Amino acid sequence: MCAKRLHMPDPLDILTDALIMSHIERGSRVIDLGCGDGRLLNRLKVEHDCSVLGVELDYKQFVACVSRGVPVLQANLNKGLEDIPSGSFDFAVFSQTLQQVNRPRAVLEEILRIARRALVVVPNFGHWKVRLQVVLQGRAPVTDSLPYEWFESPNVHFLTMRDFRDLAMRGNFRIVNELPIIGNRAVGRAWLPNLRAHSALYVLERSGD
Amino acid sequence: MATDIEHTPETDPRSVGLVEKQSVTLFHPPHELTLEGDKSLGPITIAYETYGQLNEARDNAIFICHALTGDAHVAGRRRPEDRKPGWWDAFVGPGKGIDTSKYFVICANVLGGCQGTTGPTSPNPATGAPYGINFPFLTIADIVRVHKALIDYLGIDRLLGVVGGSLGGMQVLEWAARYPDSIRSAVVLASGPRLSPQGIAFNAVGRRAIFTDPRFRDGDYYGQEDKPQFGLALARMIAHITYLSEKSIQMKFGRKLQHSDELTYDLQRETEFQIESYLHYQGKRFVERFDANSYLLLTRAMDYFDLEEAHGPMRESLARTDARFLVVSYTTDWLFPTGQSREIVSALLDARRDVTFLELDSPHGHDAFLIESELPMLHDVVSPFFDVTYASHARH
């Protein structure tokens, strides 16, 4: 595997964390679905005085959460979140995980059952590098932000920003805010975002609210 | 579960070493304990063991609740020549899951048991003879109330944690609902807010086995030479099946025969398969250490336990404590299936409490939390859980 295909997540994750945190009010109740080692939740707890809960399937990551003092449920997002009572949270964070679940629309609706607002970060497979790789090389893309070979990728769905907007039209929720992430920053009004953003942050709310 | 002695208890740095059973007598008349069944009982002797040191602030105490037929002897050895250490020796000790170099650990025998705390085998002060079947009816709440009195006696206002599996887990829930300000954290393993009807059914068959043993003599068998061992052994055999899993029986015994490679075609033969031999052995060993009247009482207490029946909806009763919760279930536990744990978790989330939940993958069924090979996983979670609870308290 070439060096380019190695994943260097930290700078991007820190950026995403900061971006997510800027959308969460102090003292809120926050759930992070696919919370990894609980780093973001711990920051929300310590710096923003939030009351937090993580959901994570991976055992090592789960233990890391416990060691940080972040309360966490070991659960598979594909099997639903039915143990979590409706309206338990002010915010749900769903970062770089939507493309990994079997039924994204059902999971999003479930998330908006348990939380008032959802902050969803998704990779944009409409990015020009991805498009170029597919067109020129005729191969599944491997880029800095999508660093997996197709056969070991956790991603089971491939979506673009346009696709996500379509999904939001069909689901029982609406997009309150769309923030394309270009390079290492989130841009409120970007030119050609679907071509230039490697990821996007969406703020979602239930349609009824 | 048993480990062979590789070190003597005095030299093994990972053992709590030699421990002594202690006891205290409380609830002297006229301050008897009024039991849930409205009868009063006193005086009550409570037998317990402690490990590690209580610190000056008295805020590092962890109370361990034992399961149905367990006892206060949770770790270490009482005599150097003891072949087996306490029932959770691999989990309780210096540097272990519950670290006795940091925490002061207490485990007490339950009320109504037969290992030192007042129960049917204890002399009734009114007659001088053992209580026997006349021992008053008791509940999990009564057990916990007695243990709370012990904690008060030890001068501990608030426990750092209360931990228990199975019936011990029920006690933990009762602690949280009844004494919300007395605990900083609660660890509930392989347990639930009530026993399932299926669990009650198994207990019922066990009790019937004891009642129909001719030697049971309506519970008045103390002083007799022939104890009611057949019924009690049978009760244990039935219960033991519920502690295992299809997978663990398959792994350990399969359909292997006990005595030869061929079937004997002999109905009189008590053990043909290895699993039969194992169950008989478990039954036989059990009657050596347990009392039939205690078994009747404690299984009934377990059947009766219903946290919601006693304290109202869990989301309200568990909301009274600000303790942190850790709930653990096992994939192959069919006595307390994961759904039971999830019910607790759901109520805690509804109550906006701090809860961590994990279903551990184990082939060992309900007993997994006692199986040595499963303990490293539990250690990974319980140890940091207590560390964080202790540190967060120190900060405040």
Q: What is the pTM of this model?
A: 0.93
Please report how many Cα atoms fall inside a 13 Å half-sphere around the Cα of residue A161, on the Cβ side: 21
pLDDT in tens, B165-198: 999 999 999 999 999 999 999 999 999 999 999 9
Closest CA to B15 of B102, B104, B81, B99: B99
The letter for the amino acid at A101 is V
Neighbours of B212 (CB within 10 A): 12
Backbone angles phi, psi at B130, to 5 degrees: -60, 145
Per-residue pLDDT at B5: 46
Per-residue pLDDT at A45: 97
What does the pLDDT average to over A172-184?
A: 89
* Residue numbers in chain B where pLDDT is lower than 50: 1-5, 396
CB contact under 8 A, A67 and B387: yes
In this structure, the dihedral spanned by the alpha carbons of residues B118, B124, B129 and B132, taken in order and rounded to 10 degrees, is -60
Residue of chain A whose alpha carbon sits nearest to that of B385: A66
pLDDT in tens, A22-80: 999 999 999 999 999 999 999 999 999 999 999 999 999 999 999 999 999 999 888 87
pLDDT in tens, B114-123: 999 999 999 9
> Which of A1-5, A128-132, A152-156 comes out lowest in average pLDDT?
A1-5
Per-residue pLDDT at B394: 55
Give me the CATH code for the B201-298 domain, please.
1.10.1740.110
Closest Cβ opposite residue B356 in set A71, A83, A84: A71
Extract the tokens encoding B156: 């501990």
Q: How far apart are CA B13 and CA A172, in angstroms?
A: 60
Per-residue pLDDT at B203: 98
Strands (E), chain B: 22-26, 33-34, 40-41, 44-51, 61-65, 92-93, 98-99, 104-108, 161-165, 185-189, 324-330, 355-360
Collect all residues of chain B within an 8 Å Cβ-Cβ radius of residue A67. 384, 387-388
Closest CA to B180 of B348, B384, B386, B391: B348
Collect all residues of chain A within an 8 Å Cβ-Cβ radius of residue B357. 72-75
Run of H or E including B247: helix B246-252
Report CA-CA distances (Å) from B338 to B104, B175, B246: 30, 21, 16
Extract the tokens encoding B342: 């999830």
Per-residue pLDDT at A3: 37
Higher pLDDT, B88 or A17: B88
Backbone angles phi, psi at B189, to 5 degrees: -115, 135
Q: How far apart are CA B364 and CA B190, in angstroms?
A: 12
For the cut 80, the answer to whether the pLDDT of residue A193 exceeds it is yes
Q: Is B354 an interface residue toward A (CB < 8 Å)?
A: yes
Domain B22-196+307-394, what architecture? Answer: 3-Layer(aba) Sandwich (3.40)
DSSP B279-303: HHHHHHHHHHH--HHHHHHHHHHHH
Closest Cβ opposite residue A71 in set B355, B380, B381: B355
If you count them, how many residues does chain A have?
209
Per-residue pLDDT at B109: 98
Instruction: Please name the residues in contact with B281: beta carbons below 8 A apart, sequence gap of 6 or more.
Output: none
For the cut 80, the answer to whether the pLDDT of residue A135 exceeds it is yes
Collect all residues of chain A within an 8 Å Cβ-Cβ radius of residue B359. 74
Query: Scanning the structure block, which residue is given the tokens 């909806």?
Result: B313
Confidence of residue A2 (pLDDT cuts 50, 70, 90): very low
Q: How far apart are CA A144 and CA B178, in angstroms?
A: 55
Per-residue pLDDT at B35: 97
Closest CA to A73 of A99, A51, A52: A52
DSSP lists the bridge partners of residue A51 as: A29
Percent of chain A at pLDDT above 70? Answer: 94
**Could you tell me if residue B32 is left (phi over 0), alpha (psi between -120 and 50 degrees) or otherwise beta?**
beta
pLDDT in tens, B333-384: 999 999 999 999 999 999 999 999 999 999 999 999 999 999 999 999 999 9
Cβ atoms of B324 and B393 closer than 8 Å: no
Per-residue pLDDT at B8: 59
Cβ within 8 Å of B, A 75-134: 75, 83-85, 88
Extract the tokens encoding B343: 């019910």
Extract the tokens encoding B178: 């009844």
If you count them, how many residues does chain B have?
396
Backbone angles phi, psi at B125, to 5 degrees: -60, -25
Question: What residue ranges define each of the domains in chain A, with the CATH number in brackets?
Answer: 19-125+157-206 (3.40.50.150)
Domain residue ranges in chain B? 22-196+307-394, 201-298
Closest CA to B122 of B294, B288, B296: B294
